Structures are given as C-alpha cells and as structure tokens.
Structure 1
C-alpha cells in the first residue's frame, strides 16, 4: 500500500534551499570603466614618488606616480595602468596608483576586482586596502588587506595577505597564502575578499585559498572593524618587487582592470 504522506523530493529540495539560503548581497559601489576618462568622483590618482599620507608607507620603489594619460588610460571598458621607463622628473620609471579614500570606504562586505596581471621581472602590481581613518594608529596598527599581490620574478604566484601590529612582514609574522595561476598574465581573473566581523576570506575565481580569523584579542591582532578604502597600483622595483632587479625590456608594462565591485 502506498504511503500518502510521502513528500515529493522536488518539494523537499526547494524547502531545504529556502532554509539554507543567505541574505542576498547588494551591490553598493562599482566601476565598470566604460567611460573614456577616469571617474574622479570615485578615484584619486596619487602624484609623486612617495606616499606617506594618502596611501600608506613606501617600499623603496623606483617609479614616479602620475595622473598622465600615458600612465592611466580607459578604453573598451578596461582601465590600464601602464608603467614606463621614461625617466620622468626624479625617477627612471613612471606608473600610477589609484585610491578610493573618502570616495569609496567600506566596513565589511565582498570586494572583487577582475584584472589581468603584467609579467616581467621588476613589476609589482597590487590590489589592496588600508584604513580610512587609521583609528588605531599608523601602519601596521590600523591594518592592511592585500587582496592580490604579484611580483614579476615569481611569475604566476599570486598572494593574498593581511598585516597588523601583531602580524606583519617586518617581523616575519604576516598572515597570508598564495595560489599558482599559470595564465595570470594571459587571462583576466577575479580577485576578491569576503570580510565580516569574524574573518576575511580570500578568493581567486571563487576558489577560497586563504582565511584570516578574528582572534578576539583586540586591535593589535584584528584592526578590521573600521572602514577601509581600495588601492590599485603598479609599482616598479622596491623591497619585494625589485628583489631580483628590474628587466628594462619589459616596458611598457600594463596592469589591466576590467571592473571593481563592492557588495554588502
């Protein structure tokens, strides 16, 4: 005899899906780079050969950052940051650093950037975040989130890292991991973090490869309870990027960004 109380499998699956679903994220900030010029309501182009206030500390890099079209270009929906060996002003190289400070600042959420990374010894592209107000003091007390870093002498090895007072590279305690991407300079990939009050998850093309958890021990370990802003830059040389020297035959060197999207 048939059991008339059997629940159809399709109904049960739908019911379980409803129970397990998470609140839908809202897109709160984006730049698709569809225009012909940089949107200065969203980005500030840093100009100079140091960056002590607007976007953190320096790493003995070799470039001079400019806002020139030679270094910042938009075309066909792509933002291109170009590093050049053009002996501009006081430096042998030029490039660009773009920041969203006081134009795009977020506490928690998903930050994702679709980009293609340049190759060549001496380049050092990064997608990263710093505290807007430095609530706990200067670097590293107020924290740093490196969504993507790549150095040209270690082709294809992409890093995601955090720095705090307790955990930072100057004392050899930074918390990070890396993933090998063989076509990192041939194809666009999506680099992202998902950040809440308990942890920061790092993703490459939706592949989770690193998690930094809140220890609950205070801001020396976890300063990530305040708004942060986004930075896109292509450095030349520096303490890490220039560790194996700079290959001058790789210029012009291009860091291409398809979009930036922030969800909360």
Structure 2
C-alpha cells in the first residue's frame, strides 16, 4: 500500500493528538450512566500532586518494616511510582524503653511511601477504577484502599480494593472490608485468592498492568480484578455496635507499598522495588 506525504502528515497529526489526550488525562473511559467526578492520571512529572495527595510519615501500622517518606513517591512517564528501598534511616521518635514498636526501633532499615486523599478528595458511593502493576517479590505488601472520614479505625470502615501479601505462607490477592465488632477489634468480610490461581491463567501476570474496580452503593460493595468479581459485601451486615454503618459515610483513598510484616521475609529480596499506578478514577451515577 502506498502513502502520500499528505497521508503521513495526517497520520502524524492523529498520533500527536492521541498522545496529547493521554498526557492531559482526557483518555478516561466513560461509563454509561455515570459521571467521572475525580481522576488522577499521573501526567504531571515530578512528585504526586499536592492538590490531590498527602503523605504519611514514619512507622505507621502492623509492625511493618518500612519508614514512610515522601521521597519514595514520584511521577514519571505517566505513572505514579512508589519505590521500596533498603535504606538506613534514624527514627527521631526513638525511646529505648518504649513498648510502642514505632518508638522502640532506633533505626528503620527500609523506606517506602504511602499517599492519601484525606481532606482533599472524599466520596460516598460510586465506582473506583485503578490500573496498576504490583510488585510480587517476597516482603511486598502493596495496597489500594479507602478509610471512612469519621471515627477511629476500625469503626470508620476500611475497604481494601487490593492487597497482596502472604497468608499462611502463600502469596495471596485480597479484597476486604472491615468495621467494628463488639467482642473483638474488627469484623472482616474477606476474599483471599491464592496468587497461584492468577499465575496459572497467565504466567506473565506480574509483569503486566491490571485493573481493580470497586462498585459501591448503599446496599453493597463489589470488588473486581480485571473484570472478575472477587468479593461482594452486604452492607446490611456491616453496622458497628453503636449502630453506625461506616460504609454509609464518605471515604478517602490510599495507595501505599508496605514492606515486611504480612508481606513476608525481606532478607533475600533485591532492592529497589516498584509499585506503579497508571491512573485512579472515580465515577458516580448520574442523578
């Protein structure tokens, strides 16, 4: 087939237009019956946009090994990159006699980042879509999740759109929700799918980007991975002992890469490690 110079010019203009659309974040897919109310396409090089994201700092939860710091989150080539590093960092809150694990460690041996939209973007109900490539090396604990804006954990409600960590020594993909319980700290509705199930379908799974989706209404939360339903949570069963349902309030988004703890052993893992996010999009039904 022959092409004229004019045809090549048209083709070049078209490709350039497509590239501009992607760089400007205008390629967010439309969902019939829904409006796109918020999106982060990570098209601004440098650091996560402070209009959207705040950073956690230091040791935070679950006896994890990493020290969270903003330096480990960057935006490049249209992706959020959260980097896990083997890095020696002094703990400024260290107390030699403390029984609090956050203070009893004089140094952190690993660093990572955790970003969230609290106070900058919060939403109640809708569809969340996140396209990401997770790091599945030993010790990695990447997550996409939400927390309710009112009450302390777990009474505020937690939705784990994606978690990857070790369960009984087995690499596992999880899709969960948690709320308060009268006799124990938290009640969980959990889906735990062995990672081997995904590898059996596609041995190249870890090297690819995948799409996680949460469909949240007043009646249910449904969590999907690449179109496959992983878990459905009945929200008529998620009321705290005080009568408050934490999934009938606004939530905010979190993206993080934890290291160690449930993630597994880090000793033989090569660093740095990378958790990459292509986009985060939130849709709500057209009223």
TM-score bucket of the superposed structures, by smaller chain = 0.7 to 0.9
Change (3 A) 1:216 1:64: closer
2:207 corresponds to:
186
Alignment counterpart, residue 229 of structure 1, candidates 252, 276, 281? 252
Change (3 A) 1:254 1:217: closer
Change (3 A) 1:85 1:125: same
Q: Is the 8 A contact 1:158 1:181 kept in 2?
A: no
Change (3 A) 1:249 1:208: closer
Equivalent-residue separation in structure 1 for 2:69 and 2:78 (angstroms): 21
CA RMSD of aligned residues (A): 2.2
Alignment counterpart, residue 252 of structure 1, candidates 256, 261, 272? 272
Q: Structure 1 unaligned runs (5+)?
A: 1-21, 51-57
2:178 corresponds to:
163
Change (3 A) 1:73 1:196: same
1:175 corresponds to:
189
Change (3 A) 1:76 1:32: same
Q: Is the 8 A contact 1:77 1:258 kept in 2?
A: yes
1:67 corresponds to:
70
In the alignment of these two chains, the number of paired residues is: 226
Change (3 A) 1:91 1:145: same
Larger helix share, 1 or 2: 2
Equivalent-residue separation in structure 2 for 1:139 and 1:165 (angstroms): 8
Equivalent-residue separation in structure 2 for 1:165 and 1:28 (angstroms): 30
Question: Is 2:85 the partner of 1:45?
Answer: no
Equivalent-residue separation in structure 2 for 1:217 and 1:94 (angstroms): 35
Q: Structure 2 unaligned runs (5+)?
A: 1-30, 91-106
Cα distance, 1:192 vs. partner?
1.3
Which runs of structure 2 are paired with 1:100-139 in the superposition (5 Å)? 100-132=117-149, 134=150, 137-139=151-153
Q: Is the 8 A contact 1:61 1:237 kept in 2?
A: yes
Change (3 A) 1:217 1:185: closer
Q: Is the 8 A contact 1:140 1:168 kept in 2?
A: no
Equivalent-residue separation in structure 2 for 1:168 and 1:203 (angstroms): 31
Q: Is the 8 A contact 1:202 1:211 kept in 2?
A: yes
1:3 corresponds to:
none
CA deviations on 1:5-59 (whole Å, 9 max, x unpaired) are xxxxxxxxxxxxxxxxx96110000011111122110001222222xxxxxxx10
CA deviations on 1:103-159 (whole Å, 9 max, x unpaired) are 110100011110011021111111111012x2xx3111111000000016634x311
Cα distance, 1:249 vs. partner?
2.9
Q: Is the 8 A contact 2:154 2:185 kept in 1?
A: no
1:83 corresponds to:
84
- Secondary structure of the 1:98 match is strand
Cα distance, 1:167 vs. partner?
9.6
Equivalent-residue separation in structure 1 for 2:43 and 2:235 (angstroms): 37
Question: Is 2:159 the partner of 1:145?
Answer: yes
Question: Is 2:241 the partner of 1:241?
Answer: no
Question: Is 2:216 the partner of 1:195?
Answer: yes
Equivalent-residue separation in structure 2 for 1:60 and 1:217 (angstroms): 27
Larger strand share, 1 or 2: 2
- Secondary structure of the 1:215 match is helix
TM-score by length of 1: 0.79
Equivalent-residue separation in structure 1 for 2:32 and 2:75 (angstroms): 35
Equivalent-residue separation in structure 2 for 1:168 and 1:195 (angstroms): 27
